[in-house]
Structure 1
């Protein structure tokens, strides 16, 4: 445990890290607002500049956006169903197609043996054998056979689909009370889970670990039983049964290996599980002591959703932007199309980049604010004297550390874009899978480092890369505990989250059935979605709190010795320290 260096040396390193005079003994964690300074300002300026530069690109592109493109055009770019603008350079433009509302695609024209252009025409009604679908004449499908009965696909119209949506909407309005009741039930289950993590965390953790091993062992046993039973049987079709037996054997071996690995990991880290249990206890205590933490993921989800909707709307409008361009000229006439120029293409890519950066910035801001509040809670001996830690963390972020989150989110954004480009450019499926696996792990590692850098910045008020370096040193010096928290701890959280989602979803489905509506499944889908969102929100705050408390725990053991410098941690964590000294003596 610990870094392996003396506490005095670590305190001196903290003085150097914060650029404090060595004579100052009474440093505070987290750093007081009056002692903080703005960090990574140039990256915040870059973030703002990126958003400002996006505006003229958007304005230019949206000036050439015309949603009438959805109605289709003729060969000269005249919109079907509208009176069109006349362009002096093209005599075929300016047609009045008020009565010709449908686009009919006749075939292709090949020009110079290279360019193939689709012939387009605006018509009053679709020809025989075609039907209108979204203002375009589509060839009718032939009669098909489904479930031994004949259906004419031409009878399955858009009107029928719209009527179905109307009936579903009516049932959802009728069963609104079921959705509200399901949301309340999911909320109560989340708070019940939180209470279990606070008052019965030992039972919960060991129940999940032992229960998971037991269930996986039973599944492996069932596959082995099926394999031996099928292997010893006298089949009529020997090859088919042999293939089935081989499949059961592969599944049995896979599950057996998983069970064996879980048993080995749990056995080797049984002492570290005590730390995980204590971290879970501390996390639940901090959330109960700072209940406003629960709302952080809610506000973050709302902001991310708003940004996503704005992005989708802008992207849709930008996708329909284009300038009328002459594609080809033939003896039969001109061919004009609305095409995007390079500026519009750049604007579309730029919009995607800005969206990813803004989204990652919001998520990073949430993490830093939570870290500031939780670290203030951890390093306060008398929790009754906590004075609005979440608000203090928020003001520290907005006044001093927005630039730090800007650079951290930029790193993740660049990695995300590089990953997407490599994935799209790689054609070989095996190579693509290998690259995707490597890039996803690198991205997760960068996210992990960025989160811990945010925690260090929230605690000490230092820039991103400096904080990341200190966080990396802390994590390396506590490598065994890091592995335990990020393997067994994450496994427990994932299983607990799945159990919460399943229970909440089952409750939601039963409530939806009680509405006795024709399309109760639509209400059930909404209830399950709400259950997933609430479980995700709850465990997002819980996981962030655990990560922060773990870093606080590492800082506490690094800077304090429990005697000359008393620990800030709880008695449970102190007991873990004492047990660790007996089990892992210092070398």
Structure 2
């Protein structure tokens, strides 16, 4: 049935031309003020909670012997956040308080000094390789994408092999009915039905690739052109690559404050005598001869004060506030980068019309006008994450009493919540882009972004997959290359000229390798997250450009000449 007159189309009206629009709006007002005040109130309460926890902790100074819970037991549980929600109570009594580390831990600490310089060099190499990869994508992206597609297109050889195997076993009369059920997987590779299934699967994959090349060729070219344009944008604003360092510092502050706030109220007072050490395993050793009458007695928590009676509720508040702050910091970083890259796209003459300090300007706009909107989006994501954590906690506590039906229901619920969290992150990301450009509140921005993407759903899917493939190979290049280089250095297979470091000085050479690989992944993730945000921002701007403008003198396109060439469009020159 057709639409009634005056009724909005299913996915909204296309964006209309606005002669005054030339990039992120300068005149804007504060958005989602109610959520802003709510977020500020939670932050003030969070600060007060930290002060109360610190005050409670200082009240134990008159007790010279304290027994703290073993944090490693909590950290290695199924869910760290579930442990935080459980109150972080004293779960074990196997802690030496004399500060002597275990032999493995001691060897690891002694390996830190001689390998520190090489590990730092490895992280610097990871940073340089990541930057070089992103800057060169404008030249290598088309080659990499088409080589990958052509390589996948050589499934013909796989089809022939599957058919040959199927024909051989068919002639031998090897059927799956003769085998039945067995745990030996190799047996199933000797029946004709297995190779027939492989033949069907590979043939369908080949058909999908060929249809993609035939019908989605233009959209693949658009995705490649946007990736190249993103590489150019980053080249013109290199400061954007280092902005994740600021976000990382804020996240570290959030984690450190959450840890301190969670640990302070969870200390357990013990002993009122004068012994300096307390160990249940070695309490009768000779070093305690001067304290023969000392005893380790568990006294329990103080339940007299208001703070102690509500300890569990305060830990829940601590967890919720922590997740909200973390999600807000990530949202602030995404909105800042989106505003900077949007200012690049909507600069008609690039790079001359790009504003000075685009990252700083976008950051100040986000802080001044849109803290409430960013907090709103972060709150929605936090609520979903809290439900996921509670579900994991319930699953962990009731696992021994679950039957097959209950496990299946819990698994389905966790899967649905995981999908919901992914969708919320996707929607928030695009909503922040719209907020950075137009300065509207979160709900309006999310609605406009979602409808814009739905009007171009095929382009969205193609761009997302092409970008994911390129960034995956980029991360593999950085992490794998630096990891192999670290292995050769720390195992002593190669020696840097003039370097006094020797692998024989290390107790466990694989420990610095693991730290270098993990650090390289974090470095690559930080740089590539900037690039991914740039691609998404330029893509939304590109879709708006197509809807707003037509290439005339009054409404010229802002897209690159390469994109206009792919779409067979052009700007009319003024006479």
Q: Same fold (TM over 0.5)?
A: yes
Q: 2:509 aligns with which of 501, 520, 545?
A: 520
Secondary structure of the structure 1 residue equivalent to 2:21: coil
Structure showing greater radius of gyration is: 1
Do structure 1's residue 269 and structure 2's residue 216 form an aligned pair? yes
What residue in structure 2 maps to residue 117 of structure 1? Answer: none
Secondary structure of the structure 2 residue equivalent to 1:200: helix
Do structure 1's residue 577 and structure 2's residue 567 form an aligned pair? yes
Change in 2 beyond 3 A, CA 1:338/1:567: same
What residue in structure 2 maps to residue 350 of structure 1? Answer: 317
Do structure 1's residue 306 and structure 2's residue 256 form an aligned pair? no
In 2, Cα distance between equivalents of 1:63 and 1:445: 41
What displacement does 1:287 show?
A: 0.5
In 2, Cα distance between equivalents of 1:274 and 1:568: 18
What residue in structure 2 maps to residue 320 of structure 1? Answer: 267
Q: 1:393 aligns with which of 362, 381, 384?
A: 362
Secondary structure of the structure 1 residue equivalent to 2:512: helix
In 2, Cα distance between equivalents of 1:355 and 1:220: 56
In 1, Cα distance between equivalents of 2:216 and 2:475: 22
Change in 2 beyond 3 A, CA 1:54/1:391: closer
Q: 1:173 aligns with which of 108, 113, 123?
A: 113
Q: 1:201 touches 1:280 (CA, 8 Å); kept in 2? A: yes
Q: 1:373 touches 1:393 (CA, 8 Å); kept in 2? A: yes
Aligned residues: 471
What displacement does 1:306 show?
A: 2.3
Change in 2 beyond 3 A, CA 1:390/1:83: closer
Q: 2:394 aligns with which of 422, 425, 431?
A: 425
What residue in structure 2 maps to residue 26 of structure 1? Answer: 20
Equivalence map 1:172-571=2 (5 Å): 172-211=112-151, 242-246=184-188, 257=201, 260-261=204-205, 264=208, 266-267=212-213, 268-320=215-267, 337-338=300-301, 341-382=308-349, 383-386=351-354, 387-426=356-395, 427=398, 428-514=406-492, 515-517=502-504, 518=506, 519-563=508-552, 564-571=554-561
What residue in structure 1 maps to residue 286 of structure 2? Answer: none
Q: 2:95 aligns with which of 134, 138, 142?
A: 134
In 2, Cα distance between equivalents of 1:173 and 1:216: 54
What displacement does 1:195 show?
A: 3.3
Q: 1:67 touches 1:317 (CA, 8 Å); kept in 2? A: no
Q: Which runs of 5+ in 1 are unaligned?
A: 16-24, 70-77, 85-131, 137-157, 325-333, 581-587
What displacement does 1:303 show?
A: 1.6
In 1, Cα distance between equivalents of 2:330 and 2:206: 32
Q: Deviations over 1:119-139 (max 9, x none)?
A: xxxxxxxxxxxxx94249xxx
Q: 1:197 touches 1:204 (CA, 8 Å); kept in 2? A: no
Greater shift, 281-290 or 431-440, is seen at: 431-440
In 2, Cα distance between equivalents of 1:216 and 1:317: 64
In 1, Cα distance between equivalents of 2:322 and 2:190: 46
Q: Which has the higher contact order (CA 8 A, sep 6+)?
A: 2
What residue in structure 1 maps to residue 291 of structure 2? Answer: none
Equivalence map 1:54-65=2 (5 Å): 54-65=46-57
What residue in structure 2 maps to residue 94 of structure 1? Answer: none
In 2, Cα distance between equivalents of 1:510 and 1:420: 41
Change in 2 beyond 3 A, CA 1:11/1:188: closer
In 2, Cα distance between equivalents of 1:335 and 1:529: 40
Greater shift, 256-265 or 509-518, is seen at: 256-265
Q: 2:542 touches 2:559 (CA, 8 Å); kept in 1? A: yes
Q: 1:360 touches 1:413 (CA, 8 Å); kept in 2? A: yes
What residue in structure 2 maps to residue 50 of structure 1? Answer: 42
Change in 2 beyond 3 A, CA 1:163/1:279: same
Greater shift, 290-299 or 310-319, is seen at: 310-319
Change in 2 beyond 3 A, CA 1:305/1:506: same
Q: 2:35 touches 2:373 (CA, 8 Å); kept in 1? A: yes
What displacement does 1:257 show?
A: 3.8
Change in 2 beyond 3 A, CA 1:554/1:239: closer
What residue in structure 2 maps to residue 96 of structure 1? Answer: none
Secondary structure of the structure 1 residue equivalent to 2:310: helix
Give TM-score scaled by structure 2 length: 0.72
Q: 2:551 touches 2:569 (CA, 8 Å); kept in 1? A: no
Q: Which runs of 5+ in 2 are unaligned?
A: 1-7, 68-92, 272-296, 399-405, 493-501, 571-575
Do structure 1's residue 40 and structure 2's residue 32 form an aligned pair? yes
Change in 2 beyond 3 A, CA 1:546/1:323: farther
Q: 2:490 touches 2:512 (CA, 8 Å); kept in 1? A: yes
What displacement does 1:463 show?
A: 0.8
Superposed CA RMSD in Å reads 4.0
What residue in structure 1 maps to residue 83 of structure 2? Answer: none
Secondary structure of the structure 2 residue equivalent to 1:562: coil
